[in-house]
Amino acid sequence: MKPVIYAHLAEKPCLSIRGAQEEDPPDPQLMRLDNMLLAEGVSGPEKGGGSAAAAAAAAAAGGAADNSIEHSDYRAKLTQIRQIYHTELEKYEQACNEFTTHVMNLLREQSRTRPISPKEIERMVGIIHRKFSSIQMQLKQSTCEAVMILRSRFLDARRKRRNFSKQATEILNEYFYSHLSNPYPSEEAKEELAKKCSITVSQVSNWFGNKRIRYKKNIGKFQEEANLYAAKTAVTAAHAAAAAVQNSQTNSPTTPNSGSSGSFNLPNSGDIGFLSMQSLNGDSYQGAQVGANVQSQVDTLRHVISQTAGYSDALAVNTMYSPHGLSANGGWQDAMTPSSVISPTEGPGSVHSDTSN
DNA sequence: AAAGATGATTATAT
DNA sequence: ATATAATCATCTTT
């Protein structure tokens, strides 16, 4: 309800024009207004055809494709403001000139009947100019205000928020839940995710920030989702794991993934699963080079195959990478409210692996 | 329309 | 610098 973005503009509604004696040094307030108008492209050089401007915007934006559409409205309004500003300014200038010449003529006529010192004329002109420049000032100020309002209306991202595509959230969730024990993507990972989802890196960061905090805040609410994504990646993970196990010569345990591969209805589910699991062996393997892609699936596997002991043993790697403050006792989600740890979800077998959308 | 979900911003801490 | 936590403003669902 209260736009605070342009608060700095409202602090000085009108400066003292009355005492226009010492205005020789360029008024800082006026300077600010001028600078801003210039920066905003209001008082700058006329941008020619709209095409050139659009091209420039597109080139500058680079990755933002939908931006141009969203900004077109903004730009239209901005040019409107610009035009008003310029016509008004011209009008004032013209009026000022007319007025001064008029006064000059008057004085000249009077000078026939009485002597008028040039000093006096100068003074007169100065007064007139000051008067008009104060009007100009007001024009500039209101223009600035209009621009700022426009800005807050259109450029504040919160006002024009669009949800990410289903596909993008899919990818992000996939990453999140398959790195659940350490959901802090590196800079490169973020870049890759951003590219895959066609969003910006900072959007990826925002997403993970939000996700982490919201997941931690109410794990129970996200259980279903977690299981779903765990199951989703488990298909490939199982394959990879199986291949890895076989590769390492040892005969794989009896029918490796027969039990859980078909219908991932996790028994009593990961409730006890990852939380306690990761407490036991704060994982986050990173350094070992053996199966770089296997590690990313460890978390996933923990969800799905908490019983097939052979696997988790084989995959349990303890390298403790500790990105931030990964304290020994827990992962990134320690220190929680006791209530949220309970995870009161029952009805164990109600997890379907359908891709509902 | 109310409630929930979600992306972005802000304040604060490390 | 980056993460968390709270909050905002909008979108989506009910």
CA A208 → C1' C12, Å?
A: 21
**Strand C bases within 7 angstroms of protein beta carbons:** 2-12
Amino acid at position A126, single letter: G
pLDDT at A214: 97
- Most confident stretch, A162-171, A294-303, A328-337: A162-171
Q: Torsions phi, psi of A40, nearest 5?
A: -80, -5
Q: Which residues contact A282 (CB under 8 A, 6 or more apart)?
A: A181, A318, A320, A326, A328, A329, A330, A331
Q: Which nt sits closest to A212, CA to C1'?
A: C4
Among A315, A188, A175, A311, CA closest to A253: A311
Cβ–Cβ under 8 Å, residues A180 and A274 = yes
Distance CA A90, CA A98 (A): 12
pLDDT at A306: 39
CA A49 → C1' C8, Å?
A: 38
pLDDT higher than 50, residue A315: no
Cβ–Cβ under 8 Å, residues A168 and A197 = yes
Q: Is the CB of A160 under 7 A from strand C?
A: yes
pLDDT at A357: 31
Q: Is the pTM of this model over 0.85?
A: no
pLDDT at A237: 62
CA A134 → C1' B11, Å?
A: 40
pLDDT higher than 60, residue A345: no
pLDDT tens-place string over residues A10-29: 333 333 333 333 345 678 88
pLDDT at A313: 35
pLDDT tens-place string over residues A198-246: 999 999 999 999 999 999 999 999 999 999 998 877 666 667 666 666 6
Q: What's the pLDDT band for A88 if we cut at 50, 70, 90?
A: very high
Q: Is the CB of A162 under 7 A from strand C?
A: yes
Among A291, A286, A36, CA closest to A145: A36
pLDDT at A142: 87
CA A292 → C1' B13, Å?
A: 34
Mean pLDDT on A90-114: 90
Mean pLDDT on A332-346: 50
pLDDT tens-place string over residues A255-295: 333 333 323 333 333 333 333 333 333 333 333 333 334 45
- H helices of chain A, in order, are 28-39, 50-61, 67-113, 118-154, 166-178, 187-197, 201-217, 219-247, 258-261, 273-280, 292-304, 309-315, 338-341
Q: Which residue is nearest to nucleotide C5 (CA to C1')?
A: A213
State the average pLDDT for chain A: 66
Residues of chain A with pLDDT > 90: what percent? 27
Give the DSSP H or E segment for A226: helix A219-247
Q: Which nt sits closest to A333, CA to C1'?
A: C4
Q: Is the CB of A1 under 7 A from strand C?
A: yes
Cβ–Cβ under 8 Å, residues A213 and A176 = no
Distance CA A297, CA A290 (A): 14
